[in-house]
Homo-oligomer: A and B are copies of this chain.
Amino acid sequence: MEFEAMSCDELSAYLRSVPGVYALLNEPVELDIAEVGDGNLNFVYFASNTKAPEKSVVVKQAPPFLRLVGKTWPLTRHRMEREVAALRRFGALCPQHVPRVYHADNELFLMVMQRLSSHRILRQGLMDGIVYPKLAGHLSTYLAHTLFFGSDLYLAPDVKKQAVSAAINSELCKITEDLVFTYPFEDHPSNVYSAAFPRAEIERIWKSPALRVAVGEMKWSFMSDAQTLLHGDLHTGSIMVNQDETYVIDPEFAFYGPMGFDIGAVLANLLLAYFSRDWHDREARANGGLPYRDWLLEQATQIWNGFADQFIALWREHESRRKSYFIGDDRGGACVDAFRARFMQRLFADSLGFAGCKMIRRIVGMAKVVDVTSIADEALRATVEVRALRCAQRLLVERHAIADIGEVVAVAREIQATRYA
């Protein structure tokens, strides 16, 4: 049977028939339904009590195709189950940063969730040059909790292995495997290049053994390293913010993968925001004296450092409570901290590698970021794109040599200061 999106009347009747949702919406006689329409994958609606519009929920339904492309790109609707399971898991770990799921319907592949009406998409806020004073702290907390508690550092090994199995998400992983790790490095018909983007830059990337080796290693890691339950698509469009709160939404790409993939997504999108400031700062807004582009790099620094501190703290606390270490007893007292330091160093390198892949796919691949596509000046856009690519390449190739996040910031500044013909 052909899929048909629900009409507003159908959706309204449905929502009123679900007791929990009906109560939550204050027993509405009538509902206002508005399709949000910006979902890449799904149909998304706001449903509000007509008489009490503050009583409102989000409804998300997965059609049997990729909504952005249409029926020619089929996708199983079971992705909705993955998303619901991930929201519930992340919500249990980090309730202050994950929207609540009120209701999930496994037959309609539909869920009803918390509406974040006073929040906006972070990417839009960054484009507008808004400072979010709590953002870095919140994202550090979210990353530390979700990445730590899904891993073998915390879970019993059998529980973790079952979680790996339960989180298999082949179809959406395939999208990432293709669109992030493969197609951008080929002359693939799905790639899109901006008008003034120099073709020589693409050729350079395609033909650089050091870069291609690094990307291949990140792809292999993405496909094999079942380290923890990831969000799987943690760009700044999957984050909703206001001055006080931060929520991470849309984990339909959730699966067991390498921790650095989520961290890298955040770093990549901050760097893309950074390089695009030449356009968005063109009217030279003042932001309390501190140039906004510096604030963006400062967020990258604070997010990594805050994440690392909290991750280590959760790890220490857990092992101290359990009175045993992942590596076994430490009679000399120097081994456990040495292992943690190495672990974080490798995770940092992984994060930079994935950040590089994520930046490249946004420049030469199919799916773009509006930070860059909104640059109306074609030449400037091309410059921003080349800078982003150069930065990505250095992160990938030098990821094991870059000592800390401060060096990443230095690389970004250096590239920003360079003129590319």
Residues of B within 8 Å of A332, CB to CB, are 206-209
- Range class of the A interface residue count: 35 or more
The 3 closest A-B pairs by CB, nearest first: A207-B332, A158-B170, A212-B335
Interface string of A331-363 (1 = CB under 8 A from B): 110110011001100100000000000000000
A337's closest neighbor in chain B, by CB? B209
* A164 contacts B328, C-beta separation under 8 Å: no
Chain A contacts with B in 36-57, Cβ cutoff 8 A: none
Q: List 16 interface pairs A-B (beta carbons < 8 Å), by A numbering.
A: A152-B220, A157-B170, A157-B174, A164-B226, A182-B327, A182-B328, A186-B328, A206-B329, A206-B335, A208-B335, A212-B328, A212-B330, A216-B327, A216-B343, A217-B346, A225-B225
**A177 interface residue (CB < 8 Å to B):** yes
Q: In the complex where A212-B338, A213-B335, A338-B213 touch, is A219 in contact with B170 (Cβ < 8 A)?
A: no
* B326 contacts A219, C-beta separation under 8 Å: yes
Sample of 14 further A-B pairs with CB below 8 A, known A158-B170, A186-B328: A152-B224, A157-B170, A157-B174, A164-B165, A164-B226, A165-B168, A186-B329, A187-B331, A206-B332, A206-B335, A212-B339, A216-B339, A217-B346, A220-B326
* A171 contacts B183, C-beta separation under 8 Å: no
Q: In the complex where A216-B327, A219-B327, A224-B152 touch, is A209 in contact with B334 (Cβ < 8 A)?
A: yes
**A142 interface residue (CB < 8 Å to B):** no
Q: In the complex where A157-B173, A209-B338, A334-B209 touch, is A223 in contact with B152 (Cβ < 8 A)?
A: yes
Residue among A158, A213, A326, A328 with most chain B CB within 10 A: A328
* A207 contacts B334, C-beta separation under 8 Å: yes
Residues of B within 8 Å of A326, CB to CB, are 216, 219-220
* B152 contacts A161, C-beta separation under 8 Å: no
